[in-house]
Chain A
Amino acid sequence: MVDLLFYVAALVAVLTAVGVVLARNPVVSVVSLLSCFGSLAVIYLLAGFQFLAAIQILVYGGAIMVLFLFVVMLLNLGGLNPEDEDRDDPLFHDRRRSAGGLAVAVALGSASLIGILRGARHLAEPTNGLVPPEEGFDALPALAEAMFTRYSLPFEAASVLLLATTVGVMVLAKRQRSIPPAGEERS
């Protein structure tokens, strides 16, 4: 039963992820991404990480999805006519290039699939000592302990990372004052 659920969730995750890229309508993309996040949450639950599953739904499925929808609505991308998009985008005309991209994607995907399947076969053997979390394993205290003791420095590093990103976004997005760019002052 659990196995079946895993395979269904994994299949849905992969199909919807493909849908995100292939859908012409951005709103369809966003909705496929939402179902992709949902099926990932199911996989986390099956692996015994209730907290991660809840976070996945709340943060990704909730907050980030709303953000994406806002962007789609604000830029009015939902109203694009698929045929117009086709005409403007050189990528769709260049058959050779899209075929090449597809080939690379298929090669990379199948290589990792083969790798994971072969790896999984070895992981399934009891000899290598990797076992799933035992019954009654409580993910939340374990996660909190890891985050605030052993991984406290990476946690802090992540906060520096976010600060630098915020400043970077401010630099790039702030409205430019009406001074000509440095290169043109002298000419």
Chain B
Amino acid sequence: MQDIHLTGFGLLSPELVLGAVSLLVLIMDLVWKERGSSRLGWISIAGLALSSFLLILAFDDSVGDTAFGIVVVDKFGNFFKLFTCGALAVVVAFVMGDQRERKDRIGEYYFLLLGAAMGIFFMVGTNNLLLLVLGLELLSLASYALAGFHKGEKRSAEAAMKYIVFGGFSAGVMVYGISLLYGLTGTLDLQVMAGTAEGAGLTRSLADAVTTSPSTVALAMVMILGGFAFKISVAPFHFWAPDVYEGSPTPVTTFLAVASKAAGFGALLRFLAVLFMSPDVAAAVGAYGLQVGSLIAILAAVTMTLGNLAAVRQESVKRMLAYSSIAHAGYVLVALVAMNGDGLEAAMLYLVAYYLMNLGAFGVLIYFHGQTGKETYDSLNGLGRAAPLISVSAVVFLISLTGLPPTVGFFGKLAVARAALAAQEGAYAWLVLLMLLNSVISLYYYMRVAKHLFLKDCEGQTVRPQPAMATLLVIFAALNVIFLLYAEPLVNWTSASMDLLLIGP
């Protein structure tokens, strides 16, 4: 009997490692009682490295499911799990290098980060909506606490409060939508819904449900997509993002903008791919003359335009980056209008580029914030002379965020544009044009940072050296350039990750 329960749990080893390390961190914090020590941070990074090692080890033959088919172990999931481990390791390094962090209650800090990573692992590694919601909630609840971690500061408390209210509402809406879907189909498994797998008991496919009760399916879909839109901060569910990003401790903002957003995209991509790219459902939806792609196109257009226009007006660099991350969510959606494998691949490529450039940009922010104590444009004056290496890296990240060569951001935008142009004989050319216009707008506010760094002088700006943090940032800047010139491994990795996911054409 015991064997049945333990079979295939080896496939869960990355999750189990994460869980064990998160508990270890929590306990060792109590045992050591040292403030300001970076030992716990190194334990967390070691755990993430071990987890990634297990993922890489299993990458080539990671096929199958475990835990009674609830968890799917495939390359697509592994892609996002590796992405999460990479992002988390950098975030932990940022926490260690953050001069603003008092290193008080640091064990709980790392525990919540690792717990959130476990939630992401569950989210992106399942076809079952129950585990998806549990993973999403685990990620959300850990994020709420992290957003309010500096509770003595008013902005941090406000951020946590706003995040909880918005998050609770959108989670409720999403679960309501899922319950409608369950009522219609009798199953929570996406593959059974799509008709690509045989379900146990009395179930029927979503294609069938679309034909008999289209309005209910549409309502359920709008509700579920609303839940995803909250996680990836897409309009009209983006209102929380600027305030929460600004109020949270900056490493947490980095986590929310990179890891949490990528997790939302991971789950959304799987949801769309398994459900709406399956031939039955695509045909049933197409019979009504509706296209999920055109709905996504509208969301993408609104999101990137709103994000960019709002970013222009900001006086705080952190808030500017918050709006810029909303705009970038719009760019990723542009790749999805194609609703095919190429589109998904382009979206994943863009997310990798987003990882490289955004982690760098937030790292620079943490570095300079630790030095000057402020986050406004004016606080950056003269730093180009005081910290030339970091400032040049900052410019590389900003060029990458704009999407200009010679950086990986250009490559990401190129992939997205190509996927969108190929869809339906160029029907979405207007969207690509809009994306280009938006990039031009974004050039203004990104370059404003460079202007303050290099062209505005400020007497007496000094910088205390932080060699570890500086090395990390320079490495990231180098990677931003290297991966444009030598993008082959990235492309190979993302296209390999598509292998098992696509069921449809």
- Chain A residues near B (Cβ < 8 Å): 111-112, 114-116, 118-119, 122-123, 128-131, 149-154, 157-158, 160-161, 163-165, 167-172, 174, 176-177, 179-183, 186-187
Q: Give min CB distance, A100 to chain B, whole Å.
A: 14
Q: Judging by beta carbons under 8 Å apart, are B184 and A160 in contact?
A: no
Q: Judging by beta carbons under 8 Å apart, are A172 and B151 in contact?
A: yes
- Name which residue of chain B comes closest to A170, CB basis: B108
From A131, A157, A164, A172, B148 is in contact (CB under 8 Å) with: A172
| Docked CA distance A170–B115 (Å) | 15
Q: Give min CB distance, B192 to chain A, whole Å.
A: 13
Q: Judging by beta carbons under 8 Å apart, are B219 and A111 in contact?
A: yes
Q: Judging by beta carbons under 8 Å apart, are A160 and B26 in contact?
A: no
| Docked CA distance A170–B29 (Å) | 15
- Name which residue of chain B comes closest to A129, CB basis: B202
Known: A115-B180, A118-B216, A119-B216. A182 touches B101 (CB 8 A): yes
Q: Which residues of B contact A150 (CB under 8 A)?
A: 68-70
Q: Give min CB distance, B122 to chain A, whole Å.
A: 6
Q: Judging by beta carbons under 8 Å apart, are B219 and A115 in contact?
A: yes
Q: Which residues of B contact A114 (CB under 8 A)?
A: 215
Q: Give min CB distance, B61 to chain A, whole Å.
A: 22
| Docked CA distance A111–B222 (Å) | 12
From A149, A165, A180, A187, B141 is in contact (CB under 8 Å) with: A165
Known: A112-B219, A160-B118. A122 touches B212 (CB 8 A): yes
Q: Judging by beta carbons under 8 Å apart, are B145 and A151 in contact?
A: no
B464-494 with Cβ < 8 A to chain A: none
Q: Judging by beta carbons under 8 Å apart, are B138 and A164 in contact?
A: yes
Contact with A along B203-227 (1 / 0, CB 8 A): 0100010001101100110000000
Say yes or no for B456: interface residue by CB 8 A criterion. no
- Name which residue of chain A comes closest to B149, CB basis: A171
Chain B interface secondary structure, helix, strand, loop or mixed? helix
Q: Which residues of A contact B105 (CB under 8 A)?
A: 171, 174
- Name which residue of chain A comes closest to B138, CB basis: A161
Say yes or no for B186: interface residue by CB 8 A criterion. yes
13 CB-based A-B contacts, threshold 8 Å: A115-B219, A115-B220, A119-B216, A128-B204, A153-B67, A158-B134, A160-B115, A160-B118, A164-B111, A171-B105, A171-B112, A180-B152, A182-B101
From A112, A130, A153, B70 is in contact (CB under 8 Å) with: A153
Q: Judging by beta carbons under 8 Å apart, are A171 and B67 in contact?
A: no
Q: Judging by beta carbons under 8 Å apart, are A183 and B373 in contact?
A: yes
Q: Which residues of B contact A168 (CB under 8 A)?
A: 112, 141-142, 144-145
| Docked CA distance A150–B26 (Å) | 30
Q: Give min CB distance, A59 to chain B, whole Å.
A: 18
Known: A112-B219, A154-B134, A157-B131. A172 touches B67 (CB 8 A): no
From B141, B151, B186, B373, A130 is in contact (CB under 8 Å) with: B186
Q: Which residues of A contact B183 (CB under 8 A)?
A: 119, 123
Q: Give min CB distance, B156 to chain A, whole Å.
A: 8
